[in-house]
Amino acid sequence: MEEVIIPVALFFTAIGLPVLVHFGKYYLRHVERRLEISAGSGGHEARAQLEELQRENKALRVRVENLETIVTSVDLELNVRLNKVLSEVSQANLRGLPGGAADASTHVLRPGQLLGARYEIRGEIGRGGMGAVYRAWDPRLSEEVAIKVILPVYWDSDAARKRFVLEAGAARRVAHPNVLRVYDINVDGDLIYISMEYFAGQRLSDVMADRGPLPLPEILAVGTAMLDGLAAAHDAGVIHRDLKPQNILVGTSGQLKIIDFGLAAPPRGSGLTATGVVLGTPEYMSPEQLRGQRPDIGTDIYAAGVILYELATGKRPFSGEGPIAIALAHSRELPAPPSQHRPLPRDLEQVILRALEKEPENRHRSANAMCQALRAALG
């Protein structure tokens, strides 16, 4: 019962608190108008009133901004719980499938099965909250490919499906050695599946878990490869939105591939959010993304800064007990300098801290600029 009550309570909180924020912003505009009137009236008494109003306005603005942060954090908590429920339901469907032929409604594909009268399934690579990934043979390309099948629970309408196909299709424009290539997006009945380049690699998150902080030459190699891939995607007009070590693959020869460009976060309007926030991973989300603003280049640069911090120190810049605590830390706290955890070149520390600036305009102006700064720091 508690698992039901908490999400319901969060849902009503996520509806009610935005009303308070809206009222607070309305009152702020009223106070600012009073300031304008007082500024034009002149006289010692008017100036004193003006100074008092300015103090009131500043204090009120801080309270409204704090409340807005809490609202978006509660929304994030709600979305994390909803996404967890959907993931558990999908995993239960996958586990509960009886033997025999594949059941398309649960997206379990068997070795030897043909998908879309083209792809011969050879085996499962892995599963996630949005579906499963398979290794398959593509006779048209005469090579192995990866097939990502998206669970239908994420597409509650034809409009949501069309939005995903359109957005995922943009990822096909990205062609770079450090980005996993998307070949095609297909719809077959209630199935949406994506064919991609097959790359046998280990997730960067697993590399970090096994080895901890990396040597400086490896930080340079991983960081520049990641940023080169980001720059190519941004040049093509594609934002990742959920960049994290779990979405970066490292091959046995050191080759790096960013995966899930434009595919990592469900599209808006899919029924997964209470107030329009696109769900990401709290540990790597930028302050503006946590406020529900649309992700842009600065969002990916911030996430790259978090990853570099973790590569250099073995720790994330912000942590907490649960999504709300982590979101508040990203929004309001300054990260500890990486050199507090490990002796590092000052220039490297500055590259990382600039990427973690709260305001996007204070970060590196592009992934390419950040990459050049990293090379200058460690090259």
Instruction: With 0.75 as the threshold, say if the pTM is over it.
Output: no
Task: Write out the two tokens for 224.
Answer: 């520049």
What does the pLDDT read at residue 79? Answer: 52
Q: Domain spanning 202-378: which CATH class is it, in words?
A: mainly alpha
- Token pair 């998206």: residue: 150
First-to-last alpha carbon distance for the chain, in angstroms, is 57
The Cα diameter of the chain in Å comes to 88
Say yes or no: do domains 114-197 and 202-378 share a fold. Answer: no
Average pLDDT over residues 328-332: 87
Domain-by-domain residue ranges, the chain?
2-95, 114-197, 202-378
Q: What is the pLDDT of residue 290?
A: 82
Residue of 203, 87, 178 whose CA lies nearest to 371: 178
The pLDDT value recorded for residue 153 is 63
Q: What is the reported pLDDT for 54? A: 64
Spelled out in words, what is the top-level CATH class assigned to the domain 114-197? alpha beta
Task: Using alpha carbons, list the distances in angstroms from residue 37 to 1, 26, 57, 152.
Answer: 55, 17, 14, 57
Q: How confident is the model at residue 275 (pLDDT cuts 50, 70, 90)?
A: very low
Instruction: Indicate which residues carry an active-site annotation.
Output: 242
Q: Which residue has the higher pLDDT, 41 or 346?
A: 346
| Mean of pLDDT values over 248-276 | 67
Bridge-based pairing state of the strands 248-250 and 202-203: antiparallel
From CA 42, how far away is CA 286, in angstroms rounded? 43
| Residue 105: per-residue pLDDT | 43
pLDDT band at 206 (very low <50, low <70, confident <90, very high): very high
Mean pLDDT on 168-181: 88
Can you give the pLDDT at residue 216?
A: 97
Q: Is 199 helix (H, G, I), strand (E, B) or coil?
A: coil
